[in-house]
Structure 1
Amino acid sequence: MTALVTILQWFATSILPSHSENYEQLEPLYRFFLPVLACLILALMWHLTPNKYLKVGIPYVVERLNYHQGNLPILNAVVQFFGALVGLLGGLSIGKEGPAVHIGATFGSRLAQRFRLSHVGVDTLVACGVAGAIAAAFQTPLAGVLFAYEVIFHEYRLRLVLPVLLSVIVAMFISEGLLGRFDVFDFGMLHLPLYDIGMLAAYVLLVFTIVISSSSFYQIQRWLWRFSSTSAVVRFLFVGVVTGLVGLVVPEVLGGGYDSLNMALSGEQILIPLMVIVAAKVVLTSLSIGLGIPGGMIGPTFVIGGLIGAQVSLWVNTGMEPATEMSLFVLLGMAAMMATTFQAPLTAVVAMVEMTHTSQTIAPAIFVIVLSCTIIRILFHQDSIFVERLSALGLVSEWSPVQRVLRHHNVQTLGHKVKCFPELLHLEQARDFATNMIDYIAIQKGEEFFLVSVPEVLEQLNQLDLGPQPWLAFDAEHPSMDVLKALSGKKVGVVGASLSVPDLMRWLHEHNQQQVLVYYSSSQEYWLATSHRLHQMLFKD
């Protein structure tokens, strides 16, 4: 995240006057051709890159978690990084936080793959990467943790809390070390007024405007998803031309838009009506994301919600100081728009507290957020925009109750530890089984594995008291037992530890097996998973 921000600032300040989002001061010709040029570069990138590496963004992260054991290819993250960089430099109405989440999740996934961790370890490191990206982007560590829970995993996992908390603190240290401590938005001093009918009416007006904007934001994208099979050159060039044309008239919509929101907070005059900027921002961001531009939506939703709040504060008169009233409604608009679009209410509340360094506005924020999220769900039947995107692709974003229970367990807590031996088992090793707490051993013969009961091995060993046995053999002058000659071991399959418990149940069902060995290469251990034990655990839970 910090690398993306640093490169963006370095390039943007060399192109734009004054600061990295000052598209308003560009000549009209540049405002038109800059987005077009960026989209042409992106189209060329998409033409030269194999299709399997072009899937990027937060929905792709969720898809890989649910369907591919969290294995996120590194090349998709590379495409995400450079695609977002080109789009942001070109002034497209996208955000950098979504790409940062994808890149952070990929870093966690590759680390887990490198050390061959189980699916629980993969989930943990992916959550660390996601939370760290949000924490670094806004310097809001707790919001990063909640974002991983609410948006990516759709559940709260206590087992992930400690490593994820550590990751956001490390991300904060890195962000502050490289970029310094910053506030994305300057809210000034906030003083919450007493509640009265006028203030509640203003909150309701804000909710109504947020719901309409959030629904429009989703509906435009939903309509555009049908063109996903159209050539990337056509789609991207269309985005570039439309962005350039709108930028000629409303330059405030180019780029992230944070500067426009900070201007409203500081009381500076904005020549374009705020609702015009909001409408243009909703359309351009929906157009960019809906047609496949590799950008994010988190930053734009903050800007859209904040500008809506600024406009509502100009519409109403609550009796507060103008600057304080503006800050309050901008803050509430940002939190409500984010919560409604991504269905992440706790993330929005905590982000608001961390960005303002005060908890005074928690109560009105909860009121606005709960009302907005409830209306959008009940009346508009709209879920998180990421969930809706996956549903449109025919994919499931949330696990069923059965899968949810299974994913809370791992093989070590459900299976039996198994030791693996060659076909010729030294008698000294066999005698040690009497004092070991293991029920089964695995005998490896070539590429095949056979499961043998330890009590049966000990019973055969006792037959030596009656005289030499036909299974007796010598391995390098060590008296040994030819186990597969002494006992009829049951052939068993072997799978890697990356499979989750639901994947193991699916494997057993597809292969019509009752048991399977799970190999942990990091510790070189084998664990036996049986369908009987898995079903027993499931019915118990």
Structure 2
Amino acid sequence: MLAPANLSLADYGDMPGLLATGLWMGLVAVLFHYLVRLFLRFPLQSRALKLLLAGLITGSLAVWVPEILGSGYDTINLALSDQVPIKLLFIILLAKLLATAGAIGLGVPGGQIAPMLMLGVCAGGVAGAILPGNSEPGLYALLGMAAMMGAVLNAPLAAIAAVLELSLSAEAMFPAMTVVLTANLVCQHGFGQPSLILTLLKKRGRLLHTDPLRTALAQRYLSELASFNFAELDMAVDSSVSGVLAPPQPWVVVRDGEHSYLLKQESLRHAYQQYQSALDEDEHEHEDKKPNDDLAWITPLLTINRRLRDLTEDASLLMALQTLQQEDSAGFLLPVGRQGLGLVTRRRLVKRLTSDEVVH
């Protein structure tokens, strides 16, 4: 692919022309978006009929404007060299807009970069031929290529980098930034048009969530916050809590049937002492208890807001926060590799996400 010989502005008096080119390219990109959505809503259910219609549109236009067929690199090279009349450039632009939008909107498999380059070079060439100034018309064609790609695909940095790769000249960067960013502002912010890729994904029900906070939370996992400083008490097996209260631990995980509960060891010790005091005051009343009934005093402590969510595998912080929004859980129990069962409390998770302090 060729590039115009003079890639720099003739003088700063051409700046209004660059801004006008960016505005023009942004409007062309908006028109292309509207045409694509028009064909996406076309009332045809059969894929075969859609492909047939796309072929008829392209074939009919190609009879009069054969330059729209193929990748269009020959036309691009001629436009960059300022060898295509403005009238022909405008006709190619209109025909290529309709044919490309029809092909993409009706589901014809194919690329998007090459059509954007051809549309951009034609639109930029038209601007370069009309606007007054001393800069080469081929420069406007090159900038139009980048602006069209950047505005339609919402990729301004990639478009500016493409100008550098094609021109191998740092002098082209300033006019490229002016035109590309102006086109993006018009298309993305002025008319609120998303990237063409997102439009196609939304049509297929596969819209990507690109929120940076959601992305960051989805890439971090609960196992990074897991603590192993807790004791376990199974009410169906253990008959006393003396062994659980002996080693100093901040938490005690109590298992009652299918559910697990989180208690502070200090709270459990205090309740146990009250239970022992009650036994000492009335030994006769409690001497007929069954072996497992001496843990019944723990049951009032096992409230629903102290219930833990048992996980069979690691989970992202995003999933954990969504779970906490849906239910009043005290935290999570999850397997952590060879280290065994890990505990992530609700307080630890919220504290880690809202504070710079290290939570132990």
* TM-score, length of structure 1 as denominator length: 0.48
> Structure 1: how far apart are the matches of 2:213 and 2:154?
23
Q: Does 1:256 align with 2:67?
A: no
> Structure 1: how far apart are the matches of 2:345 and 2:210?
22
Q: Secondary structure at the residue paired with 1:313? A: helix
For residue 384 of structure 1, report the CA deviation from its aligned partner.
2.8
For residue 318 of structure 1, report the CA deviation from its aligned partner.
3.5
> Structure 1: how far apart are the matches of 2:339 and 2:68?
56
> Structure 2: how far apart are the matches of 1:244 and 1:369?
32
Q: Does 1:213 align with 2:23?
A: no
Q: Does 1:514 align with 2:325?
A: no
For residue 373 of structure 1, report the CA deviation from its aligned partner.
2.0
> Which string of whole-angstrom CA distances, capped at 9 and with x for unpartnered residues, describes residues 153-173 of structure 1?
xxxxxxxxxxxxxxxxxxxxx
Residues 38-437 of structure 1 aligned to structure 2 (within 5 Å): 185-187=1-3, 189-197=5-13, 199-227=14-42, 230-266=45-81, 273-316=88-131, 318-320=133-135, 325-326=137-138, 328-389=139-200, 397-398=208-209, 403=214, 406-407=217-218, 409-416=220-227
Q: Could you tell me which amino acid in structure 1 is paired with residue 164 of structure 2?
A: V
Residues 520-539 of structure 1 aligned to structure 2 (within 5 Å): 526-539=341-354
> Structure 1: how far apart are the matches of 2:55 and 2:336?
49
Q: Secondary structure at the residue paired with 1:493? A: strand
> Which string of whole-angstrom CA distances, capped at 9 and with x for unpartnered residues, describes residues 396-442 of structure 1?
655668646745754245443579999799xxxx99x77xxx86687
> Structure 1: how far apart are the matches of 2:315 and 2:73?
43
Contact residue 496 and residue 520 of structure 1 kept, 8 A: no
Q: Secondary structure at the residue paired with 2:91? A: helix
* TM-score, length of structure 2 as denominator length: 0.69
> Structure 1: how far apart are the matches of 2:77 and 2:254?
69
Q: 1:296 to 1:414 in 2, by over 3 A?
A: farther
For residue 356 of structure 1, report the CA deviation from its aligned partner.
3.1
Contact residue 22 and residue 181 of structure 2 kept, 8 A: no
Larger Rg belongs to:
2
Match of 1:34 in 2: none
Contact residue 518 and residue 526 of structure 1 kept, 8 A: yes
Q: Could you tell me which amino acid in structure 2 is paired with residue 356 of structure 1?
A: S
Contact residue 221 and residue 317 of structure 2 kept, 8 A: yes
Contact residue 336 and residue 348 of structure 1 kept, 8 A: yes
Q: 1:539 to 1:491 in 2, by over 3 A?
A: closer
Q: 1:235 to 1:205 in 2, by over 3 A?
A: same
Contact residue 516 and residue 529 of structure 1 kept, 8 A: yes
Q: Could you tell me which amino acid in structure 2 is paired with residue 344 of structure 1?
A: A
Q: 1:531 to 1:234 in 2, by over 3 A?
A: farther
Q: Could you tell me which amino acid in structure 2 is paired with residue 513 of structure 1?
A: S
Contact residue 304 and residue 334 of structure 1 kept, 8 A: yes
Q: 1:200 to 1:233 in 2, by over 3 A?
A: same
> Structure 2: how far apart are the matches of 1:418 and 1:244?
72
Q: 1:256 to 1:497 in 2, by over 3 A?
A: farther
For residue 257 of structure 1, report the CA deviation from its aligned partner.
2.4
Q: Secondary structure at the residue paired with 1:516? A: strand
For residue 219 of structure 1, report the CA deviation from its aligned partner.
0.5
Match of 2:318 in 1: 502
Match of 2:285 in 1: none
Contact residue 307 and residue 329 of structure 2 kept, 8 A: no
Contact residue 306 and residue 333 of structure 1 kept, 8 A: yes
Contact residue 124 and residue 142 of structure 2 kept, 8 A: yes
Contact residue 419 and residue 525 of structure 1 kept, 8 A: no
Q: Secondary structure at the residue paired with 2:191? A: coil
Q: Could you tell me which amino acid in structure 1 is paired with residue 65 of structure 2?
A: V
Q: 1:258 to 1:517 in 2, by over 3 A?
A: farther
For residue 210 of structure 1, report the CA deviation from its aligned partner.
0.9
Q: 1:535 to 1:381 in 2, by over 3 A?
A: same
Please give the root-mean-square deviation of Cα atoms over the aligned residues, in Å: 4.7
Q: Could you tell me which amino acid in structure 1 is paired with residue 182 of structure 2?
A: L
For residue 526 of structure 1, report the CA deviation from its aligned partner.
4.9
Q: Secondary structure at the residue paired with 2:333? A: strand
Q: Could you tell me which amino acid in structure 2 is paired with residue 295 of structure 1?
A: G
> Which string of whole-angstrom CA distances, capped at 9 and with x for unpartnered residues, describes residues 335-388 of structure 1?
211222233322322332234333222211221122222223454232333445
Q: 1:256 to 1:493 in 2, by over 3 A?
A: farther
For residue 218 of structure 1, report the CA deviation from its aligned partner.
0.6
> Structure 2: how far apart are the matches of 1:335 and 1:416?
52
Q: Could you tell me which amino acid in structure 1 is paired with residue 179 of structure 2?
A: V
Q: 1:239 to 1:445 in 2, by over 3 A?
A: farther
> Structure 2: how far apart are the matches of 1:450 and 1:256?
63
Total equivalences in the alignment: 326
Q: 1:281 to 1:529 in 2, by over 3 A?
A: farther
Which of 286, 298, 309 is the aligned partner of 1:493? Answer: 309
Q: Could you tell me which amino acid in structure 2 is paired with residue 211 of structure 1?
A: G
Q: 1:383 to 1:417 in 2, by over 3 A?
A: farther
Contact residue 305 and residue 330 of structure 1 kept, 8 A: yes
